[in-house]
Amino acid sequence: MARITVLPHPDVCPDGAVVENAPEGVSICRVLLDNHIDIEHACELSCACTTCHVVIREGFNSLDEATDNEEDYLDRAWGLEPTSRLSCQALVAQSDLTIEIPKYTINHAKEGS
């Protein structure tokens, strides 16, 4: 099992977080949601939007390669970086991960708080 460190995000996780024992083979998004880190996921984890975009700051090479479909959606993500992934598609492996949730997402359906 891996540890996922989430860097601070002003809305989703202001103090940052650490998830111990993230199960291998489960999407990063699912692990975050199961640990009360409410990352956006407008398409319900189906790889049909970019709202769960994360940047992998450590552990990127432990993840499987993104599919062509994921890459196509990532091209639309705000703040795209070489180590960007859709957290609904990136499955936890054995290595620890450090992730950053970008400040903004492209979500036309998002309503104000």
pLDDT (tens digit per residue) in 29-38: 999 999 999 9
Beta strands 97-100 and 53-58, pairing class = antiparallel
Rg, Å, the chain Cα set: 13
Instruction: Provide the whole-model pTM.
Output: 0.90
The H or E element containing residue 57 is: strand 53-58
The per-residue pLDDT for range 90-112, each reduced to its tens digit, is 999 999 999 999 987 766 444 44
Extract the tokens encoding 92.
């936890």
Q: In what order do the strands lie in the sheet with 2-6?
A: 17-22, 2-6, 97-100, 53-58, 84-86
Give the chain's domains with CATH numbers: 2-100 (3.10.20.30)
Angle, alpha carbons 30-85-57 (nearest 5°) = 95
DSSP secondary-structure letter at 69? Answer: H
